[in-house]
Structure 1
Amino acid sequence: MRALICWLLTMLLAGCAHRGGSLDEPPPVPLQGDYQIGAGDTVNINVWRNPEVSLSVPVRPDGKITTPLVEDLQAAGKTATELARDIEKALGKYIQQPMVTVIVTSFVGPYTQQIRVIGQAARPQALAYRQGMSLMDVLIAVGGITDFAAGNKANIIRTVDGQRQSVPVRLQDLLRDGDISANVAVLPGDILVIPEGWF
């Protein structure tokens, strides 16, 4: 029975893949490489066999962290591994051959890896970009749009090759009419601007 269900699901998914049309997923965004720590992230620092200097710290707005024995160490823009090596180097003055592991436990990321939503969203905010994120994912995260939003006049401000572009999006068609063709891929650094309607 389980094999039959798996076969049916495989056939169904294969049929959807060849179907095309408005139900297609947004195009995938190429991988951006390892996650870079940003201001507002929280990092858990574990120094092996040294619990007195192991702790969880926030990355300050200036992109730096402060830990016992290590003051004002740049964290933003680095991967967790790069930060761990920097902490090991700094702790090497006090601890013999420190072994440090850094785990990012709260993600915001650098501005270039965020999706910012402004205007008539229910909860305007900056979101950490996730691989394959779409406009619908962004709208779910911000709680949709307000009753005063001019959803079909919204735009995504995107920087491509150093040039700002304005990409029109149809939020009202997507949210209120269920038009999945209005669901587009978003990219790291996008700014979704949702204007207010006048009536």
Structure 2
Amino acid sequence: MTTPRDLLTVAMDMESSRPLERGDLSLALAGAELIDLLSAQAIRMDGDHIVPAHRPTVADRLLDQAASSLAREAPYESVGDWLWRRGHGLATAYLAALEAEGQLTRQHRRWMPFRTGRTVLADSPARRRAADRWTSHEPILTALAAAAGINDTQPGDPPSVADDAVATVLAAVNDAVRELEAVRQRRAIEKAAFDNIWRGDGD
């Protein structure tokens, strides 16, 4: 399993009192990919820019796709730009991958045999490994989960990590999630103002 898959597994397993925003999760997944590529020494950081190193052989299809999509010539891509570009629709892509691999099942109710039911994770060693990583409060997974709003956590200052490159990625994920929330709030205000105009015209 990769960090993005562990993050998605945790997101699906955790109960939350508020809906999980798929855009926030997608940004966190893109950050998780970068952290795994750092761990594989496939990239290094030059400030907040991503510099590709060797092209690794990656067993995971989506992580390999991430590695192949890196900008390999200067000026290199910033972490923030990567998160917005790579993160677009990424949660959906990872869900589709889990489903294609048979790691998702449909939870049916006996009295509703013709309903598709709710999609849940199948019991698997990968799911248990992700749960172990979560319950051990592994700092990177905890920080990414907080950025995505999993388990009622809130984005905040990333936890202290020894690796400066990882800290840079975590900080960028938090910044991107805050920016996305600001966009949502602005659109909600604009929509409310537009609705008020229409209601006013109808009076």
Q: After TM superposition, is the score higher than 0.5?
A: no
Larger RCO: 1 or 2 (CA < 8 Å, sep 6+): 2
* TM-score, normalised by the number of residues in structure 2: 0.20
Structure number with larger C-alpha Rg: 1
More strand by share: 1
**Structure with the bigger percentage of helix:** 2
